[in-house]
Amino acid sequence: MKHRMIVAGLAGLAALSLVGCSVGSEVDDATSTGVPDTSDPSASTDASTGTDSGYTLTPKDLDGDGLITVGFAQVGAESGWRTANTDSYKEYFVEENGFKLVFADANQDADKQKQDVRDLISQGVELIDLAPVTDSGWEPVLQEAKDAGIPLIISDRQLSVPEDLYLTYFGGDMRAEGDRVVDWIKSYAADQGITDPINVVHLQGTMGSSAQKGRSEALSVGAPANDWNVVYEQTGEFTQAKGQEVMESFLQQGKDFNVIYSENDDMTYGAIDALVAHGLDPKDYIIASFDGNKSAVQMVVDGTIDVIGECDPLLGPQVGELIKQAAAGETIAKITYSTEGLIDSTNAADKVTTAFGS
Ligand code: GYE
């Protein structure tokens, strides 16, 4: 399949498939597993509350210094999204906003991150914000934070843990992001009357992270439902270097493919570099990515990337607002999903002006 075949009718199609691109957030209800029902990705339902979930800890300035000390257990520095996320915390959690920040970088190591959270507990921070590298083995650590009387917020990546172990989750709905991208590819191929088999190269993020699981699930459900073949599936660990490396090893196999479904922009950059190094034109392929870094959005404007499932990294102020509400005794939602949509040729020129990062 040639990308250049796929031009007519795009605007109408994309207009249909675009969902909520405005700035802000929507609340969804929590389930006992922490895994939301995403059968309708655009739906939002009534929020359940921290109190209803049996979690009673609220943020407080315990040491009387007039600030809430937030320990942030961050994933690492693997991607442009991550850098923007870290910057948004460092910029927001400062004294003039009523906070102090203690920053712990797990360097993408799930075991180290559990130790990071334990260190934050023993340092006596007044609240912990955990962006979990992967989603397993957290219950004992969350219980320790709770026993120490330290409220804990999960941000960015979700955890399937009982609701009485954390105050709130704030971040993306990864499955819904994936579903939007899958639907976009489906509509795009149908609109173009593509009859060739759809052969997908799937570059996965960090295995066991909710970002990988949600986006991968969307494809693993969407591919058989649409008669697509996933011809290659490999983790690129959300980094450009690894994305390039795994794409290169796929290209060496000489198999047919016409779609790349890459679970973040950094791996997409790497995959595109690999295509070019093999003398292939990225514009001949449907390239789907996630996040929405400025350079990636520019590549949509240029026609190299076809669609991006948006994911908002600028969580610092939004989490800060929730902390302030909870500290003031207000009821906050158990789960709040960032507002996210799609970026394609119909809106990329607008989006590029406000996109995060470089
Ligand atoms: O998509 C990727 C980053 O957890 C949503 O992590 C985040 C993901 C993001 O490394 O670029």
Is the Cβ atom of 157 under 6 angstroms away from ligand 1?
A: yes
**Average of per-residue pLDDT across 248-267:** 98
pLDDT value at residue 15: 33
Stated pTM of the model: 0.87
pLDDT value at residue 52: 66
Report the C-alpha gap between 326 and 50 in whole angstroms.
Answer: 9
Contact 218, 181 (CB under 8 A): yes
% of the chain at pLDDT higher than 90: 84
Torsion of CA 76, 78, 84, 85, to 10 degrees: -40
Distance from residue 3's CA to the centre of ligand 1 (Å): 27
Is the Cβ atom of 146 under 6 angstroms away from ligand 1?
A: no
pLDDT value at residue 289: 99
| Token reading at 50 | 């921290």
Choice from 75, 81, 130, 312 to test ligand 1 binding pocket (greatest atom count within 8 A of CB): 81
108-139 pLDDT, tens digit per residue, is: 999 999 999 999 999 999 999 999 999 999 99
Is the Cβ atom of 131 under 6 angstroms away from ligand 1?
A: no
User: Is the predicted pLDDT of residue 103 greater than 60, yes or no?
Assistant: yes
Is the Cβ atom of 82 under 6 angstroms away from ligand 1?
A: yes
Distance from residue 140's CA to the centre of ligand 1 (Å): 25
- How large is the angle between the packed helices 80-92 and 265-277, nearest 10 degrees? 150
Distance from residue 136's CA to the centre of ligand 1 (Å): 17
Structural domains of the chain sorted by starting position, each given as residue range(s) with its CATH number in brackets: 2-37+174-312+343-351 (3.40.50.2300), 46-171+313-337 (3.40.50.2300)
Instruction: Determine phi and psi for 122, rounding to 5 degrees.
Output: -70, -25
Distance from residue 174's CA to the centre of ligand 1 (Å): 10
CA distances from 40 to 32, 45, 182, 275, 304 (A): 19, 11, 14, 35, 29
Checking phi first, is residue 66 left (phi over 0); if not, alpha (psi -120 to 50) or beta? left
Give Cα 191 to chain centroid, integer Å.
Answer: 28
Q: Which helix (H) or strand (E) holds 212?
A: helix 210-225
267-282 pLDDT, tens digit per residue, is: 999 999 999 999 999 9
